[in-house]
Amino acid sequence: GQQLNQSPQSMFIQEGEDVSMNCTSSSIFNTWLWYKQDPGEGPVLLIALYKAGELTSNGRLTAQFGITRKDSFLNISASIPSDVGIYFCAGQLYSGAGSYQLTFGKGTKLSVIP
């Protein structure tokens, strides 16, 4: 099946710094999604990208769907302590069975030092 490489695996940053993480794939995806998971909770959708080249913002978060459709990045500007958590990328590809399966990256664990 498809593989998603997400990097970095973990980051320690100072409050106020900008953060960048990315995902690359050997396969083409139709949709890229970015989720955040707080400890002990389920992932929450942050940004969804549907077209190659698309750049979308959600507050301090910005994500882009790579032109090759094989990569995506997520930037967080001016980080704050509540940004702590695990960020997952996910690629969505029509499976031909009437459903849309997601392939997930392994996550980037973000720690913010006040």
Interface residues toward other proteins, by CB under 8 A:
1, 30-31, 33, 35, 40-45, 48, 50, 88, 90, 92, 94, 97-102, 104-107
Tell me the closest approach of the beta carbon of residue 15 to other proteins, in angstroms: 26
Tell me the closest approach of the beta carbon of residue 48 to other proteins, in angstroms: 5
Single out the residue of 106, 99, 69, 87 nearest to residue 20, CA to CA: 87
Are β-strands 19-25 and 61-65 bridged in parallel, bridged antiparallel, or unpaired?
unpaired
- For other proteins, give the closer residue by CB, 1 or 114: 1
Q: Which two tokens stand for residue 10?
A: 């973990």
Tell me the closest approach of the beta carbon of residue 94 to other proteins, in angstroms: 8
Partner residues linked to 47 by β-bridges: 34
Q: Which two tokens stand for residue 19?
A: 């953060």
